[in-house]
Amino acid sequence: IKPKFYIKDLKDNVGEEVSLKGWLYNKRSSGKIKFLILRDGTGYVQCVVFKGNVSEEVFDAADKLTQESSFEVTGKVKEEPRSIGGYELDVTDLKIISLAQEYPITPKEHGIEFLIDNRHLWVRSKRQVAILKVRARVVKAIRDFFDSHGFTLFDPPIITPNACEGTSTLFEMDYFDLGKAYLTQSGQLYEESGALALGKVYSFGPTFRAEKSKTRRHLTEFWMVEPEMAFYDLDDDMDLAEEFIEYVVQTVLNDCKEELNILERDTSKLENIKRPFPRISYTEAVEILKKKGVDFQWGNDFGGADETLIGEEFDRPVMIHRYPTEVKAFYMKRDPENEKVVLAVDVIAPEGYGEIIGGSQREDNLDLLLQRIKDHGLPQSYFEWYLDLRRFGSVPHSGFGLGLERTVSWICGLEHLREAIPFPRMIYRNTP
């Protein structure tokens, strides 16, 4: 029973009779004619039911169709530039598959809470379909980039005994007789082991943080891609990050024109996203904030508002490197030229989208790493395996993590991360 034709392929069927299956997106009547907008996930097409052309039964069926009813429709394809999608169907037959009850999400405006409560239905709307298609394209672009640049996929575990990004955002569980275990915050530590085995590796999957902050940039479950490379220093890491971001943005711009148009995205802003990206030190970024009148103390971490202010200075992502040691993770390598800072980089997206990448060169010296684990109050026993990577053929190495939903939000021009993932998880929401 699978469909033989889909709306996106109608351009190949002009003049032919085809049958399509899908759902009623919208309906308009004018006397003897009914205009049905069918959606099938690949696009939208106007189906014209003219009383004189069909049986009474078919015309009645068209009359009965309610919003989101499923149906099969047969008709001749014709070009119609004024219609949605550019084609129209002259209907000869129509069968109702299932009549929908009164659909709660009409084209009228709804509050965001109502929409998220009905996320399982909201995903059918034109805007959400466009966003989710962009997301899927971004995911493919990410995989294509690393697969074609000599990286091997290396999947880290989701259940882990140790913290990677601080202990304050861990989701905890009881793990049989072994005590506490956690949902992974980042696969990085495991990727480091992969890099020392395979050279260049990446992971791409869901990561979890018990974020207590209710911001538009935080989810408790989000997807992250994490490349890790042996024999890369911080500059090499930044070179890779900018090439990668340029590739993802330019690919989506090229392949998702229709979706970006539906989202009313100003694509001229995305066309700018070309290498080289500006690179400034943390200290220089602090100067920018001070010039803008922010009372900012060297040594503090940037907040969301600070990132927005810094990001606004540039028309492409800005790479901020060399952060104060105190505000960054234990595994980051100290700058040999200035031990107050670590060889970290954050990439801040323009237009107020904030940090999309966090990365660094890793501490490859066993004694310094041991000291950092102690300084951070982390239990050394859990990190013995990780310390082995410094005991057995340690090399300079680097990597970064890019947040998928933040990247999709930026590319689509969304206000909040919750629209960038099919079913968002946030501190106050774990349904539907």
Q: Note the residues at the interface with ligand 4AD (CB under 6 A).
A: 164-165, 186, 188, 209, 211, 218-219, 222, 224, 226, 355-359, 399-401, 403, 405-406, 417
Shortest distance, position 403 Cβ to ligand 4AD, whole Å:
2
To which residue do tokens 């290396």 refer?
Answer: 154
Crossing angle between the packed helical segments 282-291 and 304-311, to the nearest 10 degrees? 90
- Please provide the DSSP assignment of 74-135 as one string: EEEEEE-TTSGGGEEEEEEEEEEEE-----S--SS---HHHHHHTHHHHTTSHHHHHHHHHH
Shortest distance, position 401 Cβ to Mg ion, whole Å:
8
Q: Please provide residue 427's backbone torsions phi and psi, each rounded to the nearest 5 degrees.
A: -50, -40
Of 43 and 401, the one with the shorter C-beta distance to ligand 4AD is: 401
Of 288 and 332, the one with the shorter C-beta distance to Mg ion is: 332
Shortest distance, position 186 Cβ to ligand 4AD, whole Å:
3
Nearest to 185 by CA among 216, 218, 153, 152: 218
Task: Work out what residue 165 binds among Mg ion, ligand 4AD, none; the CB cut-off runs from 5 to 8 Å by kind.
Answer: ligand 4AD
Is the separation of the CB atoms in 112 and 127 below 8 Å?
no
Task: Work out what residue 194 binds among Mg ion, ligand 4AD, none; the CB cut-off runs from 5 to 8 Å by kind.
Answer: none
Residues that bind Mg ion (CB under 5 A): 358
Task: Work out what residue 332 binds among ligand 4AD, Mg ion, none; the CB cut-off runs from 5 to 8 Å by kind.
Answer: none
Of 46 and 407, the one with the shorter C-beta distance to Mg ion is: 407
> Which amino acid, residue 47?
C
Of 75 and 358, the one with the shorter C-beta distance to Mg ion is: 358
d(CA 167, CA 162): 9
Shortest distance, position 410 Cβ to Mg ion, whole Å:
15
Q: Which residue's C-beta sits nearest to Mg ion?
A: 358
Nearest 10 degrees: CA dihedral of 416, 421, 423, 427? -50
Shortest distance, position 217 Cβ to Mg ion, whole Å:
11
Class of residue 407 by CB neighbours under 10 A (exposed 0-12, middle 13-18, buried 19+): buried
Of 63 and 172, the one with the shorter C-beta distance to ligand 4AD is: 172
Q: Which two tokens stand for residue 351?
A: 């237009």
Longest CA–CA separation in the chain, Å? 86
Of 411 and 417, the one with the shorter C-beta distance to ligand 4AD is: 417
Shortest distance, position 65 Cβ to ligand 4AD, whole Å:
40
